[in-house]
Structure 1
Amino acid sequence: MSRFAILLAGPIAPNSELREALAGRRVIAADGGIEHVGALGLCPELWIGDFDSAPSELPSALRGLSIPRETFPRDKDRTDGELAIDAAKARGGRDLLLVGALGGRSDHAFSHLVIALREAEAGLTIELFDGIERALPLRPGWQDVPAAPGAQFSLLKFSDLKGLSIEGARFPLTRVDVPFASILTQSNEATGSIRIGVEGGRAVLLLQADPTRR
């Protein structure tokens, strides 16, 4: 099965929307991300990382179970999240959900967004979701994104954007070139499902979860 969830150490809201997104996915925990298994009712097939922020023992929900563990040195050139993503890909993962990748330390959240963009450009389907916010790397072309009416969203740019179009929003756009320094793409509001088209550039859609399901 190619659908995986990667548990990272950032905060989460273990609500019905997050549980639904996790349903049917194989699970790998990265370092302190193992702490989320109890709240989400999950059992990872692998626990990986340098374990500098992980508990010394498995959480009580996993006591008595044999969870394979891969340990890496603290001084390394890849994050624990990258190690977990590599492990998922080695097991056939092509559709990844990063849980606990947003919130918490800003530098960690930024690195997870960059990693998501990189992996999307390499051909993976990848999404970040913590039960509160959803982040989706945008690719050239059109993407349809389910959204609740009134949901707030922004496009976080990592370069100039060429030919940006937004439909299903309070502030639509049609083939607008948006420079990196512009904040035009911040704080929009969905009127229902969103449709976004981009002809060139790098950006991530940051969408607030459905407040009725938190």
Structure 2
Amino acid sequence: MQAAPGRNCEHGDVVVVAGGDQPDLTCLAQLAAAATVIAADSGLDHARAAGVHADILVGDLDSVTAGSLDAAEAAGTDVRRFPAAKDATDLELALDAAMSLQPRRITVVAGIGGRLDHLLSAALLLAAPRYAAVQMSARIGPATLTVIRAADRLRGVPGELVSLLPVHGPASGVVTTGLRYPLNHEDLAAGSSRGISNCFAEPVAEVRLGAGVLVAVSPGVRPEKEDLL
């Protein structure tokens, strides 16, 4: 196993392992090494496959395998079972459980693919106002999502794509450095494609905004020629 039950979250980091398609197991193991781990339903199977102990298991448990559930209970995982007829997704329940720990940072780890409605819901959920007190990000397959509320630094390889998407309303006064196409106190309207397909000019880019929320999406690929048109 990657770590023993009951380990301390020394730096205030919580990793939430989503259900659905299997994520990058190497990435999951690395992120979980110094974090408290919360599995959302069949996210427990992914944690087990990565050799990671889940401190908390949350959800209606309709998709986790019996073997993983039995092993987790034997290892001391805190199992929090919810009815199938509930008003929140397993991921939302897991994020709420993470917030109860008062962490500094929450990172969601998930696989790419699956249902489009789940993917869109998850992206919007990460930027919800009630999670504003923590640094929120996600690794979804090869992509990285970072929620930016006032300012943040993004890391990538020069030439790597990154998009800045306003969510839950417009983002105003956006300033960037380290990107090929800089923004200088610009406003991004909700639903606009203005921030799509920028790319890193330097290994570290900075993004600041006066108001609103941005989701920075680094899909983990370099642009094709047509992406720059």
Which sits farther off after the overlay, 100-109 or 167-176?
Answer: 100-109
Pairs within 5 Å for 1:112-127? 112-118=122-128, 122-127=132-137
Which sits farther off after the overlay, 97-106 or 46-55?
Answer: 97-106
- The answer for the alignment partner of 2:24 in structure 1 is 13
Q: Which runs of 5+ in 2 are unaligned?
A: 1-8, 223-229
Contact kept in structure 1, 2:161 and 2:221, CA below 8 Å: no
- The answer for the alignment partner of 1:55 in structure 2 is 65
How many pairs does the alignment contain?
A: 209
- 1:69 offset after TM fit, Å? 1.6
Distance across 1 between alignment mates of 2:73 and 2:60:
21
Higher RCO (CA < 8 A, seq sep 6+):
1
- The answer for the alignment partner of 2:154 in structure 1 is 145
Distance across 2 between alignment mates of 1:55 and 1:18:
19
Distance across 1 between alignment mates of 2:174 and 2:31:
28
What are the Cα deviations for residues 157-189 of structure 1, in whole angstroms up to 9, with x where unaligned? 222221112221121111112222421111111
Residue type of the alignment partner of 1:138: I
Higher strand share: 1
The 1:44–1:207 alpha-carbon spacing in structure 2 relative to 1, beyond 3 Å, is same
Contact kept in structure 2, 1:154 and 1:206, CA below 8 Å: yes
- Scaled by the length of structure 2, the TM-score of the pair is 0.80
Distance across 2 between alignment mates of 1:202 and 1:109:
18
Within the candidate set 158, 166, 183, 1:157 is matched to 166
Within the candidate set 170, 182, 205, 1:172 is matched to 182
- What RMSD over aligned residues (CA atoms) do the two structures have, in Å? 2.5
The 1:98–1:186 alpha-carbon spacing in structure 2 relative to 1, beyond 3 Å, is same
What are the Cα deviations for residues 22-53 of structure 1, in whole angstroms up to 9, with x where unaligned? 33011111101112123422010121110122
Pairs within 5 Å for 1:50-89? 50-58=60-68, 65-89=75-99
Contact kept in structure 2, 1:121 and 1:139, CA below 8 Å: no
Q: Which runs of 5+ in 1 are unaligned?
A: none
The 1:177–1:81 alpha-carbon spacing in structure 2 relative to 1, beyond 3 Å, is same
- 1:68 offset after TM fit, Å? 3.0
Structure 1 position 202 matched with structure 2 position 210: no
- The answer for the alignment partner of 1:24 in structure 2 is 34
Within the candidate set 39, 43, 54, 2:53 is matched to 43
Q: Name the % identity.
A: 27
- Scaled by the length of structure 1, the TM-score of the pair is 0.85
Distance across 2 between alignment mates of 1:162 and 1:78:
30
